[in-house]
Chains A and B, each alone.
Chain A
């Protein structure tokens, strides 16, 4: 076990959990909420695409890629702060 006191460990996990919930919320938004409005969004043109179609074909996908890298970077930062990052 890395040298974390129980309270540090708790703090570490609550920070990790908070990051998890933030990313899960954004994931839910781009996976489901946006597409609730696909019919309405299709009336808007974006880069020459109907926006509802665009979000499902490209927009949400770009968001997923960003979320994955962001998660890695943010979690690494937390690990370093608590001194539990691997050497």
Chain B
């Protein structure tokens, strides 16, 4: 025990050196592969090298970080410095949806896609101001822990677990889907098998070391994913406009796109805001943009796999700073994504549309084979590709862009490794959130409170593997597009968890009955709208798409919580003192009577 603490202290104080060396090593590895490619090593080998070597690194970190201590397994020993927790949160946060689909969405929808860029960053302001420092002060293991203590009992805890499970499971299915796309394309194996290869990649990171292993692999994954995302865009920016800062030069790319649009017969300009199908201003698009931004932001502040990252910092102050670093590291990718989309669109408009179909390069063939994600159909049989004949799925724009733009294959491999890092890191965070809720909140707190440490950690691992296998199997059925599934997860979390968490801290009068009623009403309505519109042809309410289902669930949750709280007896004096003690960084918590805690 003592030695493990000492060695982990030495590790934490050397983090800068360790990860600096690691980043340098990774860049060296990419350069070596680039040289090998020039010497004639086939693309297939390069793809294999990127996929397997990066997974091997994650597995190595995962095995080194194995642990049999509860606080190491659940909250990484609470020693993660804010800067590195920011990086880990960045990787935890940026999933296949951010890395693979977001720029693709921007490519296809222009300004409307910026709703995702906004929604997936602004939520951190809510996390940092309303929740993270207080949850850190609370200092237990999981988000349902907070609900269980604040709302005095297992009913609230169980409601929390149900919401957590529904949201995180939807989310993790989408990540398995993304992992399947990447491994299938770069290893050349069928999608259904590729998912299970990826599954091994997920499990090696999280199974032995829990949060501790996931934290340190996530930092490693962030470094790879950010290098992978920035490299092709910086390259194209330099190639097209002679300046390696894509965030500045893509203004020019936008102007070039706008100039080409009339010639190609595009009716919806890329930069136009709130446009309907015919390029006219649309109130419906306007409402949906706002609804999506709100749901994604509130969802950010409700997703347990993100909130639990702030349980791992040494203290409250560090939790706050850590939110700043998190959004900074996320921002680096998000403010580049629109540039990625603009460059990809410009390349397609200039060099793909209007070409002879027979002479299209090999990447078209390669990508057409991955489950119908790219189709080229010569509708008017003139042998020339028109814009309407080139149908590309948003999930492959980022992955295929280096090939479309004619960059060396090593860049494609690098992007694949980055996408894989993004999907794996998020999948691990989610998997841990689900497994911890089931093993800690359901098994330990509700079923067997006398379980030994060994037993608790064994149960945690069995559940982890079980959930991972089920998620991969569901992903194999291709239930929906990545970004759509992720947006659903955000809405579910927002409608179910935001209100009890925020009011639990900021409004002492919130009662257990109020919180439970609010969770059931908000989450229930959100789920009803989602399932009704998706599977039973229910008409949309006010034209709001179901990716923003929380728009209805969230206000209902607020109203029900407040009304029921006011109708029931105010929380006990002990509970109010407990809330007071959460609000102040220093000092012990004033546990209410009967509260069970670590």
A interface, CB within 8 angstroms of B: 1-2, 4, 9, 12-13, 16-17, 19-20, 23-24, 27, 30-32, 35, 38-39, 42, 47-50, 52-54, 56-58, 60-62, 64-65, 67-69, 71-72, 75-76, 79, 83-86
Establish whether residues B133 and A57, one from each chain, have CB atoms under 8 Å apart when the complex forms.
no
B261 to chain A, nearest CB (A): 14
Q: Mark B321-342, 1 if CB is under 8 A from A, else 0.
A: 1011011100100110010000
Of the A-B pairs whose beta carbons lie under 8 Å apart in the complex, a sample of 7, sorted by A's number, is: A20-B129, A38-B111, A48-B251, A57-B338, A61-B121, A72-B320, A86-B315
Residues 77-112 (chain B) with a chain A CB within 8 angstroms: 111
Chain B's nearest CB lies how many Å from the CB of A65? 5
Interface Cβ pair total, 8 Å cutoff = 149
| Residue in chain A with minimal CB distance to B112 | A56
User: If the complex has contacts A20-B130, A69-B324, are A42 and B588 also in contact, measured as CB distance less than 8 A?
Assistant: no
Contact indicator B327/A65 (Cβ below 8 Å): yes
**Is A49 within 8 A of B254, CB to CB?**
yes
Q: Which of A42, A53, A62, A75 contacts B114 (CB 8 A)?
A: A53
Q: In the complex, what residues of B have CB within 8 A of residue A48's CB?
A: 248, 251-252, 255
Instruction: Answer whether A64 and B323 are a contact pair too, CB < 8 Å, given A49-B251, A57-B117, A86-B585.
Output: no
Contact (Cβ within 8 A) A61 B290: no
Taking a contact as CB atoms under 8 Å apart, the answer to whether A65 and B128 are in contact is no
Please pick, from B111, B248, B274, the residue contacting A47 in the complex, using a CB distance under 8 A: B248
A60 CA to B273 CA in the complex, in Å?
16
> B289 touches which one: A12, A13, A35, A79 (CB < 8 A)?
A35
CB–CB B125/A27 < 8 A: yes
Which A residue's beta carbon lies closest to that of B126? A27
Q: Is B177 an interface residue (CB 8 A)?
A: no
Interchain nearest-CB distance for A64 vs B (Å)? 5
Stretch at the interface among B63-71, B222-230, B348-356, B576-584: B576-584
**How far, in whole Å, are A31 and B111 apart by their CA atoms in the complex?**
15
Shortest Cβ gap from A84 to chain B (Å): 4
Measured between beta carbons, the chain B residues less than 8 angstroms from A53 are 111, 114, 254, 271, 273
**B559 at the A interface (CB under 8 A):** no
What 14 new A-B contacts, CB under 8 Å, besides A56-B115, A58-B335?
A1-B577, A20-B129, A24-B129, A27-B126, A35-B118, A35-B273, A38-B111, A57-B114, A57-B117, A72-B128, A72-B323, A72-B324, A79-B585, A84-B585
Q: How far is the CA of A53 from the CA of B270 in the complex (A)?
A: 10
Q: Determine the distance from Cα of A65 to Cα of B324 in the docked complex, in whole angstroms.
A: 6
Other-chain residue from A16, A35, A61 in contact with B583 (beta carbon distance below 8 A) = A16
Q: Which residues of the partner chain A approach B12 to less than 8 Å between Cβ atoms?
A: none
Contacts of A13 in B (CB 8 A): 583
B124 within 8 A of A: yes
CA distance A12 to B582 in the complex (A): 13
B265 within 8 A of A: no
CA distance A5 to B474 in the complex (A): 56
Is A56 within 8 A of B125, CB to CB?
A: no
How many angstroms from the CA of A68 to the CA of B328 in the assembled complex?
9
Closest approach, in angstroms, between the C-beta of A48 and any C-beta of chain B? Answer: 3
The answer to whether B580 touches A71, judged by C-beta atoms less than 8 angstroms apart, is: no
**Does B317 reach chain A (CB closer than 8 Å)?**
yes
| Residues of the A chain whose Cβ atoms lie less than 8 Å from the Cβ of B111 | 38, 52-53, 56
Quick check: A76 and B125 within 8 Å, CB to CB?
A: no
The answer to whether B272 has its CB under 8 Å from any CB of chain A is yes
Provide the residues of chain B in CB contact with A86, threshold 8 Å: 315-317, 585-586
Closest to A30 in B: B122
- Asked if B281 is at the interface of the complex by the 8 Å CB criterion, the answer is yes
A23/B122 in contact, CB under 8 A: no
Nearest CB on A from B175, distance (A): 24
